[in-house]
Amino acid sequence: MRLFNIIIATLAISFLPAGANAQSSRQRFTMATDSGGVLVESFGSCANATCPAVVILSGSKGFVAPVYDEIGQSLRAAGLNAYLVHVLSAADRDAIAKAGSARARIAYYAQRLPDWISAVQGVAAHLEGQPRHGGKVGVLGISLGAQIASAASVGRADIDALVLVDGGFPNGYSQPVRSLPPLHLIWGSADRTFPLSTGRELQRTAQQLGGPVTLDVYEGGTHDFFLRSGTRNAGAAHQSAANFLSSHLLR
């Protein structure tokens, strides 16, 4: 009977949804910021004594996709501590999902952007001050997360490297941009949400500011290619992000 129960329990675990298995390895905590408490998930510390931090910002659907665990683990293997920062609350994700049009979504983003930016900056400042991170913090933003990341990183001395995936400055962003951290852009050539021309324009902007900037283009990649687990483009792009961040944060 005992062996039967063990077998049943093992089978039950094996049939859990993939997302549930992946998320069970995440360590969850809440971080206080000026805009309120923010849920943060981590994957544990890297193997080194000092592991710079990387703040990861999701697209509009949040961090439910198991691929975020792959991204986090690839950063950890590169000697970095990855943090999934939930600046989008459940209410935010629900409002975005129920928005009836692109115009309605953009209007909602504009309304919430100041709080999202404040949350990212608060988390980055906190992580920078923790000794195990060696005073180094990078930010990786994907789609909507890239919009938030770009706006949150302008002129910030506590953000040492920035990776934007298929997304740039928010619509109508009008704040002066005088400096950006070292910037790495990752773009799908077939992205119709944020066309490659958007990435090239952002590259030119960063070049005019005098900072280092690189653009990696993935042939045939659509807007969500970075989140397509198991594909060659996604795997290469994850490694590209990890290589860039480690090269700037582990100096």
Asked whether residue 228 is assigned to any structural domain, the reply reads: yes
Identify the band that residue 222 occupies on the pLDDT scale cut at 50, 70 and 90: very high
**Chain segment 75-87, per-residue pLDDT in tens:** 999 999 999 999 9
Average pLDDT over residues 152-174: 96
Answer yes or no: are the C-beta atoms of 196 and 204 closer than 8 Å.
no
Q: Report the chain's mean pLDDT, rounded to a whole number.
A: 91
The C-alpha atoms of residue 38 and residue 22 are separated, in whole angstroms, by 21
The secondary structure of the chain in percent helix, strand, coil, rounded to multiples of 5, reads 45, 20, 35
Length of the chain: 251
Does residue 194 belong to any structural domain of this protein?
yes
- Tens-place pLDDT, residues 223-235: 999 999 999 999 9
Would you state the pLDDT for residue 21?
Answer: 47
What is the Cα 17 distance to its own chain's centre? 23
Mean pLDDT, to the nearest integer, of 133-159?
A: 98
* Tokens describing residue 223: 């807007």
Q: Is the pLDDT of residue 189 over 90?
A: yes
Please check the confidence at residue 135 and state whether its pLDDT lies above 80: yes
- Any domain includes 239: yes
- As for how many domains the chain has, the answer is 1
Range of the domain at 108: 28-249
Under 8 Å between Cβ of 35 and 118? yes
Q: Which amino acid is at 227?
A: L
**Inside any domain, residue 231:** yes
Which pLDDT band holds residue 71 (cuts at 50, 70, 90)? very high
Dist. CA 123–CA 153, nearest whole Å:
12
Element (H, E) at 187: strand 183-188
Residue-wise pLDDT for 107-127, tens only, equals: 999 999 999 999 999 999 999
Token reading at 90: 């459940």
Question: What is the per-residue pLDDT for 35?
Answer: 86
pLDDT tens digit sequence for 2-24: 333 333 333 333 333 334 444 55
What is the rounded CA–CA span in Å between residue 142 and residue 223? 10
10 falls within a domain: no
Q: Is residue 188 part of a domain?
A: yes
Question: What CATH number has the domain bearing residue 214?
Answer: 3.40.50.1820
Once rounded to an integer, what is the mean pLDDT over residues 135-146?
Answer: 98
Identify whether the C-beta of residue 240 lies closer than 8 Å to the C-beta of residue 186: yes
Q: Is residue 116 part of a domain?
A: yes
Percent of the chain at pLDDT > 90 equals: 86
Token pair of 251 as six digits? 């100096």
pLDDT at residue number 23? 56
- pLDDT of amino acid 24: 55
Predicted confidence band at 172 (pLDDT cuts at 50, 70, 90)? confident
The answer to whether position 80 is within a domain reads yes
